[in-house]
């Protein structure tokens, strides 16, 4: 990731849901400045609830009226110049929409939830004040989160925060302030070694992610009368592909018949329904081909 020396990397517990709290506790509490949140889907919306307990949250873009089918363009974003930070979700796992580029926020600290596309591609870490990602999607297993924080972002943290919720003791103790989730951290080591030695690094992972998703998006585009992609083309996620079938009955049939062929976990998130194919880092190309072949057969059978 080419993480510069003025950043710290932490291995913490509590999943991304704890980061929804730790970020505003450390960086919004006691400030007379608002935080700016970009709401692009289920997860960024959820992050706001806890942020509001700590201070003023200004939602500077909200995609809910459009059913969370796209991310904003740069010229749709207007930040409070005094914002404590700008927060966004790089890839909305539920809706399958992803920022194709990093928003330009000028000098305001940029914070992101990178859970679902963490280490799926090269990223310019220097654009961020804080990156957080739980392990369980691309980097290992549940139980550990990887937090990357820039030094200068730590200077205004209030002093009355409970120790476990303050980033600084974890930095001082190099992520062993208390008993760490050793096995989960170990899986991150195995995954990063696999990424470097077997895949050949983040550029290659990105190529793979593009190839995998292109196969399914191409199929969706060719068969729009039957399969309907949720995301607008310029916001499509390379990781989570969300689409609908013509009826709820066909959706249930799709899921059931997939399972008979060993294709599992394709049910869309309960908040959205439909189908979601998730191609996290370990998904082999064979899995993508199997899904594509199944989708063509299914369409021929029921269309
Ligand atoms: C983008 C994103 N953020 C946050 C979460 C919540 O993560 P956790 O279960 O680790 O709290 C998820 C869960 O899937 C997610 O996809």
Q: Are 91 and 117 in contact (CB under 8 A)?
A: yes
Cα(18) to ligand 1 centroid in Å equals 10
Cα(190) to ligand 1 centroid in Å equals 21
Is residue 89 lining ligand 1, measured as CB closer than 6 Å? yes
Please list the residue range(s) of the chain that carry CATH number 3.90.1150.10.
Answer: 202-302
Cα(183) to ligand 1 centroid in Å equals 20
> Judging by DSSP bridges, how do beta strands 35-39 and 57-62 pair with one another?
parallel
Please list the residue range(s) of the chain that carry CATH number 3.40.640.10.
Answer: 7-196
* Entry pTM: 0.97
Confidence of residue 261 (pLDDT cuts 50, 70, 90): very high
Over the chain, what is the mean pLDDT? 97
Substitution candidate for ligand 1 out of 15, 134, 147 with most atoms within 8 A of CB: 134
Cα(218) to ligand 1 centroid in Å equals 28
Confidence of residue 241 (pLDDT cuts 50, 70, 90): very high
Show which residues are catalytic.
43, 113, 137
**CATH architecture assignment, domain 202-302:** Alpha-Beta Complex (3.90)
Q: Encode pLDDT of 91-150 as tens digits.
A: 999 999 999 999 999 999 999 999 999 999 999 999 999 999 999 999 999 999 999 999
pLDDT on residue 134: 98
Is residue 17 lining ligand 1, measured as CB closer than 6 Å? yes
pLDDT at residue 243 greater than cutoff 90:
yes
> Percentage of residues in the chain with pLDDT exceeding 90?
99
Is residue 273 lining ligand 1, measured as CB closer than 6 Å? no
For residues 279 and 147, what is the distance between their CA atoms, to the nearest angstrom? Answer: 22
For residues 267 and 276, what is the distance between their CA atoms, to the nearest angstrom? Answer: 6
CATH code of the domain made up of 7-196: 3.40.640.10
Q: Are 106 and 127 in contact (CB under 8 A)?
A: no
The DSSP bridge partners found for residue 111 are 87, 130
Is residue 230 lining ligand 1, measured as CB closer than 6 Å? no
pLDDT on residue 47: 98
> Residue 95, exposed/middle/buried by CB under 10 A (0-12, 13-18, 19+)?
buried
For residues 35 and 62, what is the distance between their CA atoms, to the nearest angstrom? Answer: 15
Is residue 15 lining ligand 1, measured as CB closer than 6 Å? yes
- 19 Cα nearest atom in ligand 1: 11
Q: How do the residues of the chain divide into helix, strand and coil, expressed in percent and rounded to 5? A: 40, 15, 40
Q: Which residue minimizes the CA distance to atom 10 of ligand 1? A: 15
- 145 Cα nearest atom in ligand 1: 10
Q: Encode pLDDT of 210-228 as tens digits.
A: 999 999 999 999 999 999 9
SS (H, E, C) 10-78: EEECCHHHHHHHHHHHHHCCCCCCCEEEEECCHHHHHHHHHHHCCCCEEEEEECHHHCCCCCCCHHHCC
For residues 84 and 70, what is the distance between their CA atoms, to the nearest angstrom? Answer: 25
E-only strand ranges, the chain: 7-12, 35-39, 57-62, 86-89, 91-92, 97-98, 110-113, 130-134, 145-150, 228-229, 240-244, 275-278
């Amino acid at each position: 990731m080419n993480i510069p020396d003025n950043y710290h990397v932490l291995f913490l517990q509590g999943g991304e849901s704890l980061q929804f709290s730790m970020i505003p506790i450390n960086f919004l509490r006691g400030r007379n400045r608002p935080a700016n949140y970009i709401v692009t889907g289920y997860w960024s919306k959820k992050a706001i609830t806890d942020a509001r307990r700590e201070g003023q949250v200004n939602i500077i873009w909200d995609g809910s009226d459009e059913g969370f089918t796209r991310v904003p363009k740069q010229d749709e974003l207007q930040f409070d110049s005094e914002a404590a930070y700008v927060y966004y979700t790089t890839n909305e796992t539920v809706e399958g929409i992803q920022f194709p580029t990093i928003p330009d926020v000028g000098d305001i600290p940029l914070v992101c939830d990178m859970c679902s596309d963490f280490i799926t591609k090269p990223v310019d870490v220097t654009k961020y004040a804080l990156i957080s990602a739980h392990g369980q999607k691309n980097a290992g297993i549940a139980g550990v989160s990887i937090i990357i924080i820039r030094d200068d972002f730590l200077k205004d943290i209030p002093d009355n925060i409970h120790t476990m919720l303050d980033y600084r003791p974890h930095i001082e103790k190099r992520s062993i302030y208390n008993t760490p989730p050793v096995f989960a951290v170990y899986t991150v080591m195995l995954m990063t070694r696999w990424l470097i030695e077997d895949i050949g690094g983040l550029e290659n992972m990105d190529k793979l992610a593009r190839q995998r998703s292109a196969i399914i998006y191409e199929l969706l585009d060719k068969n729009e009368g039957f399969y309907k992609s949720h995301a607008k083309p310029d916001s499509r996620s390379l990781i989570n592909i969300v689409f609908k079938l013509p009826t709820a009955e066909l959706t249930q049939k799709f899921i059931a018949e997939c399972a008979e062929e060993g294709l599992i976990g394709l049910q869309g998130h309960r908040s959205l329904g439909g189908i979601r194919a998730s191609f996290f880092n370990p998904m082999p190309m064979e899995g993508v081909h199997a899904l594509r072949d199944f989708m063509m057969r299914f369409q021929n059978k029921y269309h």
